[in-house]
Structures are given as structure tokens and as C-alpha cells.
Structure 1
Amino acid sequence: MTTVELPSAERVAVRATEILTAIEADQEFPAFAAASLKYNEDWTCYSGTPIISRYNQEADAAPLFAEGLRALCLKAAVFEITGDEKMAEIPIAIPVDEMTHAMIAQPQLLARITARVGVPIIHQTNQEHTDWRTEGYTHQAYRYAWGEPPERYWIDHEEAQRRLGVLRGKYEEAGFLNMGQAHLIDFGEPVAA
């Protein structure tokens, strides 16, 4: 049985920057960005972007979109080099992962863009890793490609877990249980139409 190893972070960085450049140059990229940035109340998640200190969706959406796109390009580069979907699910930070969900929820646009670029985008929720750590593989590849990732969005796993604990307590005080998967709110009688 052959074991495939992760490619060097430098090699992944070079390819990821090429992929990013090609995606951003695509004729449908503006429509893809606009659709992904329509990150409104329909996308509310209790455990993704809320771990960002003083998060403001209006101000944070565009920079978070850039980080999500970079993360998808890193994953695509790993997949292209290794051919291994599981290996391509490199660790990314929780808020960045949440933004990638908004991006892959634009399937027609993303499929057409990636077909023209010739690179598949890899993401499967049950295989994703949101245990991003400073100085880990993803951080190294990111650094080679674009410099230091913004700490506001690339929150180290241990700090992310601490912040999730804070949020969990606040949510439970407000009657939201299991990180928003259940609540104790009784809406009473419906209003007649």
C-alpha cells in the first residue's frame, strides 16, 4: 500500500497563487463574489463567524471572502498535487471555513469557473478540519503564498475552542442550547392571516 505525503508547503503555495489568479481573472468571478458576499441573515451560524471579536458582517464579509477563497485555493492545490481528497482537507480556521460554505453554495458559478480554470474545489463537511494552528502546515503554505494570515480570521484552534465556550454560555443564558441547534422559546399562538 502506498502512502501519499503532503506536498511541500512551498509547492502548494506556488500552485495556490496560480489558481487564485486564474479564478479572480475569470469572467464570472464578479458574479461569484457578489453571490458569496450576500452573506445575510439566511447564513446565520452560531459557531463560525461569531468567534471573531466584535464581528460585523458588513465590515468583515469582504476580507473574510478573500480568506475563504485563499483557503479553497490551498485545498485545491493540495488535491491537484496529491489526487487525494482527504489529504486536501487541510486544517483551516473556523470563521474561514464558514465563509467557504457561502462560496460553495454558489454551485453553478463555482462549477463553471473551476471548469474553465481546470481545478476542482475540494470540500466535504464530514472530512473538513477546522483545527487550524499557527505554524501548522496550512499556516506555512499560506505564509509562502501571501504572507501572514490575518489573525482576526485565522484564529488558532485552542483560542477558537475557548471562544466557543464563551459563546455557548451566552447562548444558554438566552435560551439557545447546543450552539443554536435547539432553543427554549415558545412562540405562542400564531397570528391569524
Structure 2
Amino acid sequence: MLPSAESVAERATEILAAIQGDPEFSAFTAASLKYDADWTCYSGTPIISRYDQVTDAPPLFAEGLRALCLKAAVFEKTGDEKTAEIPIAIPVDEMTHAMIAQPQILARITARIGVQVIHQTDQEHTDYRAGDYTYQAYELAWGALPERYWIGHEEAQRRLGILRVKYEAAGFLNLGQAHLIDFAEAVAA
């Protein structure tokens, strides 16, 4: 059972402040943003309209951090990892992967502030919807969610359909999980 959105919002704001106040926060931020060549996938940030990693990565980092803080607050209140995997928007979830890819620094920060970051791919939920529990807790903690990054599930699926058609026309199948490029073939200049 989920704890009240109010109590999660209150604790998430405390967790966020503690993380941002940690002496290694700037290094964590820099390392997460430097992961940019590795964390882009065909079905995450590309669903953001006119996405530009240079300008979108910093605000997306803020959203990923807020999502991790909400999940940490739910876990703290329930002790249940599955319950803590609250719905997150696809692009925000993708950014959390860049953050979690900094395990040593993230572990030191969370150990110092006494929280656990929760994220497990096989349990994650990227079916965020405006008005859901995540939306309510976020709004109570930080105000309106930026819709540019917090794309609802139905709209995300619509955009993925558009991307799928464009990718397949270019020879990329299954949202980039396969392709028809033969690197042994000569490529015309």
C-alpha cells in the first residue's frame, strides 16, 4: 500500500536537499551528465519533441533526481522495493539510468545521507500518467511537473509509434534493437 502523497512529498524534498547539499553532489552531477553518449536510447529521450541533449540534459537530470527521491521516500516509508517503483515518465526514467551508472559516488552520497536509491529495471514502471500517485506526490513537493519531460503513457506510446515508423524506414528495427546495416558492404559517399 502506498503511503500518503503528502508524506512522500515532504520526505522527498528533504532527501533532495540532502543530496544536493552533499560535498560530492557536483561531481555526481558532472559524471551523470558526462554519460550522455551512453545513456541515449532509441525509445527514451527521443520521445521528447525537438530533443537536444546539450540543452535538455541538465533539466532532465533535475527531473531524474526528483524521481529517485520520490522512490527513495516511498521505499523509506514502506520498506518494499516493488511498491517504491512508482510510475515514472520514459525520458525521466532514462535519465535515472545515467545517474545509477555512477554507483560508487551515488553509494557514498546515499550512505552519508542515510537513504536507499531504488531502481530495478525488471520492476520499473514507465507508465506514468498525469494525475497518478507520482504526479500527486511530485506536485506537492515541487509544484507543476514539466510536461516536456513528464510525458504521459498514452502520449509516449503514440510518439514511440511515430519513431518506430521513422526508424524502420532508415533500417532500424524494434526501436533500435536490430538493424539491417551490413558493415561489410561498401557505402557510397
Aligned 8 A contact 1:39 1:61 in 2 = no
Shift of 1:189: 6.3
In structure 2, the partner of 1:171 is: 167
Instruction: Tell me the TM-score normalised to structure 2 length.
Output: 0.97
In structure 2, the partner of 1:43 is: 39
SS in 2 for 1:37: helix
Runs of 4+ in 1 over 2 A off after TM superposition: 39-44
Aligned 8 A contact 2:3 2:78 in 1 = yes
Shift of 1:44: 2.5
Instruction: Tell me the TM-score normalised to structure 1 length.
Output: 0.95
Q: Does 1:87 align with 2:87?
A: no
Q: Does 1:114 align with 2:128?
A: no
* Distance in 1 of aligned mates of 2:39 and 2:135: 27
Cα deviation per residue 1:96-135 (whole Å; 9 max; x = unaligned)?
Answer: 0000000000000000000000000000000000000000
Structure 2 gaps of 5+ residues are none
The number of equivalent residue pairs is 186
- Percent of pairs identical after alignment? 80
What are the equivalent positions in structure 2 for 1:51-130 lying under 5 Å apart? Answer: 51-130=47-126
- Aligned alpha-carbon RMSD (Å): 1.0
Aligned 8 A contact 1:97 1:130 in 2 = yes
Aligned 8 A contact 2:39 2:94 in 1 = no
Residue among 4, 23, 26 paired with 2:22: 26
Shift of 1:188: 1.3
In structure 2, the partner of 1:154 is: 150
* Distance in 1 of aligned mates of 2:38 and 2:107: 22
